[in-house]
């Protein structure tokens, strides 16, 4: 594939993720799924730039982003479970009382 096709895909994925966040604003779990779909777009940008510029920094940074995404996908649901135990709901409307 050419460079333009990779960048087009990397541009479409975050736009679909933003659309997914704004189309469903009731459930936090479903709102986090489009955010997880935006991370591969960032990783593909890093990888394509790394190959195009013949530099390994983009690929190493993409692996760092994948590591942070794995940690976030483990910690995020744990926070939601604890929030559900304490408040009894994980609805987005009830998160306004988390202000400190």
Q: Is the pLDDT of residue 27 over 60?
A: yes
- Span 44-92, pLDDT tens digits: 888 888 988 898 998 999 999 889 888 888 888 888 888 888 888 777 7
CA distance 72 to 32: 10
Are 27 and 90 within 8 A, CB to CB?
Answer: yes
Which residue(s) pair with 27 in the sheet? Answer: 91
Query: Are 80 and 31 within 8 A, CB to CB?
Result: no
CATH, domain 1-91, list 1.10.287.3510, 3.30.420.40, 3.40.50.1000, 1.10.3720.10: 1.10.287.3510
**Domain range list for the chain:** 1-91
- The alpha-helical segments, DSSP class H, found in the chain are 3-23, 28-53, 57-87
pTM reported for the whole predicted model: 0.68
Per the CB < 8 A criterion, the answer to whether 82 and 90 are in contact is no
């Amino acid at each position: 594939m050419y460079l333009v096709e990779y960048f087009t895909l990397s541009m479409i994925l975050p736009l679909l993720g933003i659309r997914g966040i704004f189309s469903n604003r009731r459930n936090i779990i479903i709102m986090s799924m489009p955010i997880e779909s935006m991370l591969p777009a960032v990783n593909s940008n890093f990888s394509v730039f790394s190959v195009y510029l013949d530099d390994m920094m983009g690929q190493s940074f993409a692996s760092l982003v994948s590591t942070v995404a794995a940690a976030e996908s483990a910690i995020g649901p744990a926070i939601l479970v604890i929030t559900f135990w304490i408040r009894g709901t994980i609805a987005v409307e009830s998160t306004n009382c988390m202000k400190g």
